Amino acid sequence: MIPDEVRSEVSQLRELLRYHNRLYYTENRIEITDGEYDALMRRLSEIESRWPELATEDSPTLRVGSKPLSSFPSLFWDPPMLSLDNVFSTEEFSEFDKRIRRELKLEKDPSYSVEPKLDGLAVALVYENGILVKAGTRGDGSEGEDITPNARTLRAIPLRLSGDPPPALVVRGEVIFRKADFQKMNRERKARGQELFINPRNAASGSLRQLDSRITASRPLSFIAYGTAMWPEGITSQHSLFDMLGKLGIPVNPYNSVCRGAEEVEKACHRLEENRDELSWEIDGVVIKLDEDSLQKRMGTLSRFPRWATARKFKAEEAVTKLIDIDVQVGRTGRLTPVARLEPVFVGGVTVSSATLHNEDELAKKDVRPGDTVIVRRAGDVIPEVVRSLGRSEGERRERFRFPRSCPVCNGPVAREEDTSAHRCMNPSCPAKIRESLFHWGCRDALDIEGLGRKLSEQLVDKGLVKDVSDLYRLTSHQLVFLDRMGDISANNLINELDKSRGTNLQRFITGLGIPGIGRTVSGLLSDRFRSLSEVMDASADDFLSIEGIGPVLADNLQRFFNEKITRNVVNRLLNAGFNPESSEVDDVEKPLQGLTVVFTGGISTPRPDARSMAEDAGGKVTESVSSKTDLVIVGPGAGSKLQKARELGIEIIDESEFLKRINRDGRILFEKRE
């Protein structure tokens, strides 16, 4: 029997700790010392240890951290956590404002929410009935990492909301370090002889993504909210949303303001830039949003960013130096990036000897050439970039740099992706990208080789066992058993999986080659048009263009891949390893989702790429958005605007369990999660 006075003390301690957290993180002031705060926490922990039944999922004692994880699970965001388009000058923002007034046919200046752009890590917090149940990173916008145990350790993040919260609320914001907290942490690390953190942003990202949440708990991270996934009922503006979040105990930026028209916005931006050094945390610009919900909805969003918001970036620190030469680096995905080699120059607090030139289009636009005097800045105060050329002080300028048509690492063909300025090496066996190529070859959409995950792919390359994709099919179980996390059973299973993959169909084989722009969908179009790989290899660009859904860029990429000596040899080596991919024969029995257009939304437990493959194997066509052409929507927890639209259009809605039953009669999950 727990005494009433003990229950009362626990309640008072929890409320007191929450009060002081809100005071510090939402009002930027303190009433007690760190020692006094720690004493309250120790007392609460002592009581909960003596009476474990008093421990609750929202107790402040959960902030000490828990046992390490082996990896982060995935979380899916709907609607996606979009990035922001940028403007860099008064003129560019003026154009943004004019477009809004023109498209919305506004007779008076709109109101804008002007918010300091925090330099941290974007996260989302999922609350149900006022209790924090999930937290995740932004990731690629649609899929992030589940960092719930780490988020629980942050004092700035309320485990239980105050007041009268809505039943479901997804709060989006930035995890950051306050300047004072960051400096104090570095002083303590220096005293212990530990390596110092270079800047708050990288330190915040690394601290929050620790597999051991006890490490996260030891670092004084903060959280500032900038919005929600969906507008709560009754909220009609950005500023009223911030008011509501503040009342719920969620930290919001005290420097946010509402401005009428472009002129007021410009003044607010200048004030923040002039006073940025006096703020409690680092900022690298200003976020400007239409304040009214109704206007935001009318402007809508693009695939990557909203049309009703933009980021006004502050002018970065710049310096002048000489460009010695231009190199091209090849990343792990095969992307080619031009890099300027510079005479070392001190800019933005560090010495810079190289800087990105981004891509071929930027290189041509800036007309930067070796031997030029150039202006260098640290973009976002982090990544060095060449701003522009000042020409050459003496003598003639050298010729323009020509972007390579062949990979500087393997001499394989280089292709430009459709609708982007990115160039990628097409050779799956390029040494720079072989690790990623092996992982892609074995993924669900491609050959679906169970056991060939990212870590094993890296080991195979690092140990020198695989230098070419076809080398996979010369591996022996004796070679594999000496690798980390591999025993006799795992080694034999992988050999069997590799042997089974030789019987793959044409669609999966082409997907596995990783040709830029040629994923599962386009590979399916090729499989529908051609009966065998030999027909694909002998096809012309015009043959590819005759297929609906394949444009000039993809047609050229395909024709070059199958005709260039290096990449054609990769395919031939795979054929010699026992492959003979052909188009799948059409089944007489109609597939369970045959002819249906399908959309997934919310946090289903099956990894999204696997679910997509399941639906397509069952005859469905998977799209990202809900429209009148959608036949079926599969929903999970946290489903948002897509679910709402499906209801409005009267589209059939089912959950994940029903989806699995429809595509597989005994309801088994067809795919297990991988490393």
Confidence of residue 421 (pLDDT cuts 50, 70, 90): confident
Degrees, nearest 5: CA angle 643-645-646: 65
**Is 422 found in the same domain as 326?**
no
**Is 58 found in the same domain as 126?**
no
Confidence of residue 327 (pLDDT cuts 50, 70, 90): very high
Whether the predicted pLDDT of 338 surpasses 50: yes
Confidence of residue 528 (pLDDT cuts 50, 70, 90): confident
Question: What pLDDT, in 10s, does the model give residues 442-490?
Answer: 988 899 999 999 889 999 999 999 999 999 999 999 999 989 888 899 9
With a pLDDT cut of 70, the percent of the chain lying above it is 92
Q: b or e along 432-451 (b: 16 or more beta carbons within 10 Å of the residue's beta carbon)?
A: bbbbbbbbbbbbbbbbbbbb
Task: Tell me which of 54 and 130 has the higher pLDDT.
Answer: 130
Question: What pLDDT, in 10s, does the model give residues 71-118?
Answer: 678 888 888 888 888 888 889 999 999 999 999 999 899 999 999 999
Is pTM beyond 0.85? Reply is no
CA distance 315 to 595: 52
CA distance 409 to 27: 54
User: For residue 242, what pLDDT is reported?
Assistant: 96
Whether the predicted pLDDT of 588 surpasses 50: no
Identify which of 399-403, 415-419, 505-509, 605-609 has the greatest average pLDDT: 505-509
Question: What pLDDT, in 10s, does the model give residues 295-326?
Answer: 999 998 876 789 999 999 887 678 899 999 99
User: For residue 638, what pLDDT is reported?
Assistant: 65
Confidence of residue 379 (pLDDT cuts 50, 70, 90): low
User: For residue 489, what pLDDT is reported?
Assistant: 92
Degrees, nearest 5: CA angle 525-610-669: 125
Asked which of 96-110, 333-347, 583-597 is least confident by mean pLDDT, the reply is: 583-597
Cα–Cα distance list, 313 to 84, 251, 472 (Å):
11, 23, 47
What average pLDDT does the segment 659-672 reach?
57
User: For residue 70, what pLDDT is reported?
Assistant: 52
Confidence of residue 26 (pLDDT cuts 50, 70, 90): low
Whether the predicted pLDDT of 185 surpasses 80: yes
CA distance 223 to 281: 11
Dmax (CA) for the chain in angstroms is 91
CA distance 311 to 288: 6
Q: Is residue 397 part of a domain?
A: no
In single-letter form, the type of residue at position 605 comes to S
Contacts of 666 (CB under 8 A, 6+ apart): none
Judge whether 633 and 599 are in contact, CB under 8 Å: yes
CA distance 404 to 415: 10
Judge whether 75 and 144 are in contact, CB under 8 Å: yes
Give the total number of structural domains in the chain.
5
Whether the predicted pLDDT of 265 surpasses 70: yes
Q: Is residue 408 part of a domain?
A: no
Q: Is residue 581 part of a domain?
A: no
User: For residue 507, what pLDDT is reported?
Assistant: 92
Whether the predicted pLDDT of 667 surpasses 60: no
User: For residue 205, what pLDDT is reported?
Assistant: 80
Q: In angstroms, how far is CA 177 from the centroid of its own chain?
A: 21
Q: What is the bridge-based pairing of β-strands 373-379 and 383-389?
A: antiparallel
What average pLDDT does the segment 494-505 reach?
95
Whether the predicted pLDDT of 670 surpasses 60: no
**Is 521 found in the same domain as 474?**
yes
**Is 611 found in the same domain as 555?**
no
The CATH number given to whatever domain includes residue 329 is 2.40.50.140
Judge whether 386 and 376 are in contact, CB under 8 Å: yes
**Bridge partner list, 632:** 598, 652
Q: In angstroms, how far is CA 200 from the centroid of its own chain?
A: 20
Q: What is the DSSP letter of 632?
A: E
**Is 326 found in the same domain as 297?**
no
Catalytic choice (98, 105, 117, 267):
117
Whether the predicted pLDDT of 591 surpasses 60: yes
Assigned token pair, 566: 């290096």
Q: Is residue 589 part of a domain?
A: no
Q: What is the mean pLDDT of the chain?
A: 85
Q: Quick one: angle between helices 565-576 and 552-563, nearest 10? A: 70
The CATH number given to whatever domain includes residue 489 is 1.10.150.20
In single-letter form, the type of residue at position 97 comes to D
CA distance 136 to 514: 29
Question: What pLDDT, in 10s, does the model give residues 127-145?
Answer: 999 999 999 998 878 888 8
CA torsion, ordered 558, 562, 563, 567, to nearest 10 deg: 110
**Is 185 found in the same domain as 221?**
yes
Confidence of residue 666 (pLDDT cuts 50, 70, 90): very low
With tokens 């609350």, the residue in question is 127
Q: Is residue 675 part of a domain?
A: no
CA distance 294 to 458: 49
**Bridge partner list, 137:** 123
Judge whether 529 and 500 are in contact, CB under 8 Å: no
The DSSP result for 18-65, as a single string, is: HHHHHHHHHHS--SS-HHHHHHHHHHHHHHHHH-GGG--TT-GGGGG-
The DSSP result for 65-115, as a single string, is: --SPPSSPPEEE-SS------EE-SHHHHHHHHHHHHHHHT-SSPPEEEEE
**Is 259 found in the same domain as 122?**
yes
**Is 329 found in the same domain as 289?**
no
Q: Is residue 426 part of a domain?
A: yes
Let me know if 289 is a catalytic residue: no
Question: Domain residues for 205?
Answer: 86-98+107-305
**Is 204 found in the same domain as 151?**
yes
Q: What is the bridge-based pairing of β-strands 350-356 and 143-145?
A: unpaired
Q: Quick one: angle between helices 90-104 and 261-274, nearest 10? A: 150
Whether the predicted pLDDT of 605 surpasses 80: no
Assigned token pair, 383: 């990544």
Q: Is residue 407 part of a domain?
A: no
Degrees, nearest 5: CA angle 421-387-309: 65
CA distance 118 to 402: 38
**Bridge partner list, 261:** none
Question: What pLDDT, in 10s, does the model give residues 217-238?
Answer: 888 899 999 999 998 989 999 9
Q: Is residue 34 part of a domain?
A: yes
**Is 277 found in the same domain as 198?**
yes
Whether the predicted pLDDT of 653 surpasses 50: yes
What average pLDDT does the segment 598-621 reach?
80
Judge whether 358 and 368 are in contact, CB under 8 Å: no
**Is 300 found in the same domain as 330?**
no
**Is 240 found in the same domain as 91?**
yes
User: For residue 589, what pLDDT is reported?
Assistant: 52
With tokens 């992307």, the residue in question is 335
Q: b or e along 157-195 (b: 16 or more beta carbons within 10 Å of the residue's beta carbon)?
A: bbbbbeeebbebbbbbbbbbbbeebbeebbeeeeeeeee
